[in-house]
Amino acid sequence: MTLSLYPPETSEIPVALLKDLSDQQFGDLYSCDRFTASVLANRFRYIVDNMCGQLISQAFSPILRDYTDLSAALTGPPSIRHAMPAVAQSLPLFFGSIPEGARGALEEYGIDQLVDGDVIIVNDPYRAGTHVNDVCFIRPAFVDGEFIGALTIRAHMLDWGGKVMGGFTLDKGSLYEDGLVVAPELIYHAGEPVRPMFKMIRDNTRFAPMVLPDIETINACLKAADDQLSETYVRYGQDAFVGAMRYACDASAETMQQAIAELPDGDYRGEAKLDSNGLGAAETALHAKVLIRKRGPNIEFDFSGSSAATPSSLNCMWAEAKSAVVIATKWLVDPKTPYTSGASRSIDVLVPPDTFMNPSPPLCSNLYWVPMHCMITAIMRALNPVLGEDAVALDSGDSILHVGEGLTEGGEPWFVPAGGVLHSLPWGATQSGDADSGQLSLYLNLVWSGDEPSEADQPYVVLNRDYRADSGGPGQHRGGAGSVVDTLWLEAGNHRAFAFMSDRSDGGGVSGGSPGAPAGAWLLPPASTAEVADGVFLPNTLPSSAYAEAVPMYGTFDPETNELDAVNGTYHLALHPVAGERGTILRSYCGGGGGWGDPFRRPVDAVLADVRNEYVSLEGAALDYGVVIEGDPHHDPEGLRVDPEATARLRDR
């Protein structure tokens, strides 16, 4: 089945490139002049950005206030098929699903049933994508009874019921275990809270004292944005208002089409895998396969042949397939322009039914971003060879997810939600240069407050966040370095930690560059952390004996030593929460980003600087870059010397 997710949003297709339209043609198409169209397109964007910014600064739950797991969007009236001229620049994760959620909810509920001040919510993943914790709050905007568009905030609710606190776990076999599912229904009516809905939420969430004020704040943000939107409509009139919405979408459709058109026509294949389906070891690995058919300005992404849907948390919905495709496409060919729903107009996506990117009810999509990231990886692998110098090396893999909970010595519950022990993730290098080590997944963007605010009220101490030497993928431009994060737990509790793209050795570098180092995590028992009490920090590389005593959480390990061994090791995933005593250390490595270009072409001075800065070891410089350096990088960083003859011998080989 080819599912075209992108029906034309405009009935009138521009007769020429937008820049070549005469004033008369422009006015005929968009019912306003060029000037007004650009003014309004810009205003739509900052109305949604402000709505998002306001919520971030006023939210209560850590998942919103600290990890900004939210987005916002404006969608138009039915006459333009609810096209989305503006989406907040906070979180690309929801690019695909947020307009689908809004459009579907409004049509299902019935716009004629709605009045000014209403807000409807929906979180059914089969309707609105992502997972049940991500609730869409949709406020229809009216002027004189006329529906002019809708404002939507999609925000992760800290807890929404379901089998585990906070929601994140591997083994949710169905949506019924995931939490409360709400079809489009009113939560505010004419500005007033709908009490039964609030009561139902209160009785289903474990954190009502945070979740309910979050909802009130969301309503205030929607109202403020509605006021600005309505004022804009009144000032510019319906024709210009709607015309500008169409213009904003057409403009991004055009830039995307032109970027696609520049790719050579052809069929391109790519593949990526998840280490496991979350229920077992390596034999349960999930594969995303994509065949990209590119013809002129059109492109189709066909995921036929991908793995079947899984009875675990590792499915994503068709809406995420759309997000994966548009994020990867923006990333690779049209990175600079703001996203609108128009950007996906010439893109088709085929997701076969009952695959892990298009499951059937009641399967669950609790960890939806993981399959999505896998799809993005497959697309990058398919298109990178076509892009030549413009290829983008792969990032380090998926975000590491840790959740901890337990009781304090005093008997009080503690809970560290997903994202609490945040890892920065390194990116892949590009022709522009080396990649940053401290970045976020390409589908995330948030403002991180550091470790101190968490340590002020959470039971852990972050001992280490150092970048690891030799972890960035070697290349003429080096991939970002992976980091080690060591957290010392001041209370006993249970820990879950997982990542599913822990190893990029099957292809992470581009244009001759190499992949970054693999990821992994261990829970080190207090016995092996006794040196902490003696005032000695854990070095980035521990003796084998320390790993042998540790509980491996995820990664490809030597089964004897528990040390990472991506080549000969065995993939292991701790399927269930692991208990840790007070004084336990969670050590996690995130992988490195891929390199761009032949590492032997990296300037010797750049390698010397890498060694001085401990991004590359003396051994790594010789082995990966063919540069022989002498000296002691840590104790005499400015005394390092390159051996030119030995370097020439290595590089000439």
Partner 1 sequence: MSTEPFAPPAESQMIGVDVGGTFTDIVKIEDGKILVSKVPTDASSSDTSVLQGVAEVGADDAGVFNLASTAGLNAVITRDTPKVAFLTTTGHRDMLDRGRLGRPWSALTDPHWRREFGDTGRPLVERYLRRGINERITGAGQVLLPLDESQARSELDVLRRCGVEAVAICLLNSYVDPTHEQRLQELVAEVLGDIPCSISSEVSPLTKEYQRAMTTLVDVVMKAKYSDYTDRLSTGLEKLGFDGVFNYSDCAARLLPADYAMERPYRLVVGGPAAGTAASAHFGAQIGDSQLLCADVGGTSCDISLVRDGEPWLNSTFELEHDLHVNALSTDVVTLGAGGGSIVWVNPTGEIRVGPESAGAHPGPACYGQQGDRPTITDAAVLIGILDPDSFLGGKFPLRADLAEKAFDDLQSPLPLSQRIDYAWRMGINNVAEGMVNICVRHGLDIREFSLMAFGAAGGMMLPSLLQVLPIRRVIVPPHPGLFSALGLLSTDQVYSDHRTSYRLLDDQAAEPLDLLFSSMEDGLRAQLGRGAEGATVHRSFDGRLFGQSFETPFVPVPNAPIDADALAKMIEDFHRVYGERNGNTFPYIPVQGVTYRVEMHVPTDKVTHPPLPTSDLDPTPDAATNLRHLDTEPGPAAVYYRTSLHAGQRIVGPAIVREELSTTFAPTGTEVKVGEYGELIISTSGDQS
Strand pairing category for 570-573 and 493-498 = unpaired
User: Smallest distance from the beta carbon of 185 to partner 1, in angstroms?
Assistant: 22
User: Smallest distance from the beta carbon of 298 to partner 1, in angstroms?
Assistant: 19
User: Smallest distance from the beta carbon of 102 to partner 1, in angstroms?
Assistant: 20
Contact 594, 508 (CB under 8 A): yes
Q: Among residues 38, 204, 408, 617, which is the contact residue for partner 1, using CB under 8 A?
A: 38
Write out the two tokens for 333. 């060919």
Q: Among residues 112, 144, 457, 645, which is the contact residue for partner 1, using CB under 8 A?
A: 457
Nearest to 265 by CA among 293, 240, 285: 293
Footprint on residues 195-234 left by partner 1 (CB under 8 A): 209-210, 213, 216-217, 220, 223-224, 228
Q: Distance between CA atoms of 270 and 290, rounded to whole angstroms?
A: 5
Footprint on residues 565-584 left by partner 1 (CB under 8 A): none
Nearest to 4 by CA among 357, 338, 300, 433: 300
Supply φ then ψ for residue 272, to 5 degrees: -150, 160
ω into 362 cis (within 30 of 0): yes
User: Smallest distance from the beta carbon of 260 to partner 1, in angstroms?
Assistant: 14
Nearer to partner 1, 181 or 225 (CB): 225
Q: Among residues 35, 112, 195, 283, which is the contact residue for partner 1, using CB under 8 A?
A: 35
Nearer to partner 1, 174 or 258 (CB): 258
Query: Would you tell me how many other CB atoms lie within 10 Å of the CB of residue 232?
Result: 19
Q: Among residues 447, 530, 567, 579, which is the contact residue for partner 1, using CB under 8 A?
A: 447
Nearer to partner 1, 181 or 608 (CB): 608
Q: Distance between CA atoms of 252 and 384, rounded to whole angstroms?
A: 23
Residues 6+ apart with CB under 8 A from 534: none
344 binds partner 1 (CB under 8 A): no
User: Smallest distance from the beta carbon of 131 to partner 1, in angstroms?
Assistant: 22
By CB under 8 A, how many residues form the interface with partner 1? Answer: 107
Nearer to partner 1, 118 or 171 (CB): 118
Q: Among residues 233, 318, 467, 547, which is the contact residue for partner 1, using CB under 8 A?
A: 467
Footprint on residues 90-109 left by partner 1 (CB under 8 A): 90, 92
Footprint on residues 66-85 left by partner 1 (CB under 8 A): 66
438 binds partner 1 (CB under 8 A): yes
23 binds partner 1 (CB under 8 A): yes
User: What is the Cα gyration radius of the chain?
Assistant: 26
User: Smallest distance from the beta carbon of 108 to partner 1, in angstroms?
Assistant: 29
Nearer to partner 1, 635 or 653 (CB): 635
DSSP string, 7-38: --S-SS--SS-GGG--HHHHHHHHSS-HHHHH
Write out the two tokens for 323. 């997000």
DSSP string, 94-162: GTTHHHHHHHHHHHHH-GGG--TT-EEEE--HHHH-S-TTEEEEEEEEEETTEEEEEEEEEEE-S---S
Footprint on residues 514-573 left by partner 1 (CB under 8 A): 532, 535-537
The residue whose two tokens read 């991908």 is 306
Footprint on residues 597-626 left by partner 1 (CB under 8 A): 612-615
